[in-house]
Structure 1
Amino acid sequence: MENISTALEGLDPIAAMQYLAAAFPGAVAFSTSFGQEDQVIADMIWRANLPVRIFTLDTGRLFQETYDLMDLTRARYKKTFEVYFPETASVEKLLQEKGPNSFYESVENRKECCNIRKVVPLNRALQGVKVWITGLRAEQSENRQTLHALEWDEQRQLYKYNPLINWSYDEMINYLQTQNVPYNKLHDKGFISIGCAPCTRAIEPGEHPRAGRWWWELSKKECGLHG
């Protein structure tokens, strides 16, 4: 890992992803949730025609605005991306036993839903992947402030590359504007971090960017994808 980290030093995100794609041919993948960070990275990958596989997770509970952005992105770049759904039997069992809104009842129930709808499909999507590219930024949450551009995911036995880890919110917005990158219209309505519709709300001025995710919980605001 040290050799790769050293090789990436001083490289901009596009050059770094080019290096990783060459070092791990056919085994570099980017997971997008169509958030602002992810739209920046997708634009970089497609603009530079990098050999990086792009996929997304459709939990079955996404906002209509997210689906609209998927269509807009396809039309803009004339590119496709892989879509992974939860396992049907697991979702059916969850709803039959606990109903459609069990995630509001306890942290355990919410994590169970996230695991079924996000984590299991993600692990399936990452099979055979050596480098997983993500849109994490240090500013997003306290537990992400200690992350580096290149991390080793022990559980999944792969490298995780975070090209925007040190980018500020303003830098990200500037890129979207200058490159005319399509984005989710919910961002204009106070939604900063956008996930599933039942679990996301707009934030008030001065609130933490992830305050709108699982707002009824006081615990660590993560779903299990990144820890």
Structure 2
Amino acid sequence: METFNIQQLQTDLTHKNPRIILKKALELFDNIAIAFSGAEDVALIDMAVKLSKDIQVFCLDTGRLHPETYRFIEKVRKHYRIDIEILSPDKDLLDNLVKKKGLFSFYVDGHHECCGIRKVESLKRKLPQLDAWITGQRKDQSPDTRQSIPEVQIDSEFSTAGHPLIKFNPLVNWSLTQVWDYIEAYQIPYNELHEKGFTSIGCEPCTRAILPHEHERAGRWWWEAGAQKECGLHAGNVKDNGTS
């Protein structure tokens, strides 16, 4: 890992092409991984395998994903001939939640407790093993929580005093249309749910297809009021915006 100044690096990468950001990330860090779940992340994997033959990819299996999503993960693994590390929730924490509150507590209590166990806890176990990670976040995914995302940052949510974690967001300035233009141009795998009106895809009980003219993340946790559609993986977005 090279030494660098995070502020200078952000200045250098501001508004740069995603391939340039991704190339710089892979040059700076050997111990870096792509967090994979959706269409944006596969675009990043496609770019990354053209830059390096040795990339780390991990995926959060909440135990509640759509069947189509599990098939999608396998398609990506085979298409790129890469290993994908599947992270599962802590059994004891999950068993305790389900025993006390059942399988659908999020419809009553909100999604954060369930996401905290099924997603965030798994991520907390993985990220201390890395020096940096790469996400598919885009500014236009959420006007309320993602408008201020930089191309590179110190991850305020998952860093520790002795282990600063660097987070790269190469697609931050791309639109959804640009993502799909890339997918179609390079004929890369995508989740078949996209053909059924799903845009942002999470767990099966918490995701629906969107209606015409709805925002792309309107189908996530649709029963909850408000527009802060975050599960906790990028909780720093909410804090940094001063909204929690």
After TM superposition, is the score higher than 0.5?
yes
1:29 aligns with 2:33: yes
3-state DSSP of counterpart to 1:221: coil
8 Å contact from structure 2 (residues 115, 231) kept in 1: yes
Equivalent AA in structure 2 for residue 31 of structure 1: A
Map of 1:181 onto structure 2 = 188
Residue of structure 2 equivalent to 1:62 = 65
Q: CA offsets per residue over residues 70-104 of structure 1, 9 Å max, x none?
A: 12112211111111000011111111111111111
Secondary structure of the 2:129 match is coil
Q: Which of 204, 209, 213 pairs up with 1:197?
A: 204
| Offset, 1:51 | 4.0
The residue matched to 1:29 in structure 2 has which SS? Answer: strand
CA shift, 1:152, in A, is: 2.0
Distance in 2 (alpha carbons) for counterparts of 1:7 and 1:188: 38
Q: Following TM superposition, by how much is the alpha carbon of 1:4 offset from its aligned partner in structure 2, in angstroms?
A: 1.8
Q: 1:93 to 1:159 in 2, by over 3 A?
A: same
Residue correspondences, number:
223
Segment drifting more, 35-44 vs 55-64: 35-44
SS at match of 1:126: helix
How far has the Cα of 1:46 moved from its partner?
1.7
Provide the C-alpha distance between the structure 1 equivalents of 2:196 and 2:25, rounded to a whole number of angstroms. Answer: 36
Contact 1:41 1:135 in 2 (8 A): yes
Q: Which 5+ residue runs of structure 2 have no aligned equivalent?
A: 1-5, 160-164, 236-244
Offset at residue 54 of structure 1 (A): 0.8
1:102 and 2:102 aligned: no
When the two structures are superposed, what TM-score results if normalisation uses the length of structure 2?
A: 0.87
What's 1:93 paired with? 96
Q: Contact between 1:91 and 1:116, CA under 8 Å: does it hold in 2?
A: yes
Structure 2 counterpart of 1:162: 169
Match of 1:38 among 30, 36, 41: 41
Over aligned residues, Cα RMSD in angstroms? 1.5
How far 1:168 moved relative to its partner? 1.3
1:6 aligns to 2:7 (yes or no): no
Equivalent-residue separation in structure 2 for 1:13 and 1:138 (angstroms): 14
Which runs of 5 or more residues in structure 1 are unaligned?
none
Between 133-142 and 122-131, report the one with greater CA deviation. Answer: 122-131
Deviations 1:133-178 (A, max 9, x none): 1000111011111211112212322221111010011111110001
Residues 25 and 168 of structure 2 are in contact (CA less than 8 Å); yes or no, is this contact kept in structure 1?
no
CA distance in 1, matches of 2:139, 2:199: 15
Aligned partner of 1:226: which letter? H
In 2, the alpha carbon distance for the partners of 1:166 and 1:65 equals 28
Residue of structure 2 equivalent to 1:216: 223
Partner in structure 2 of residue 206 of structure 1: 213
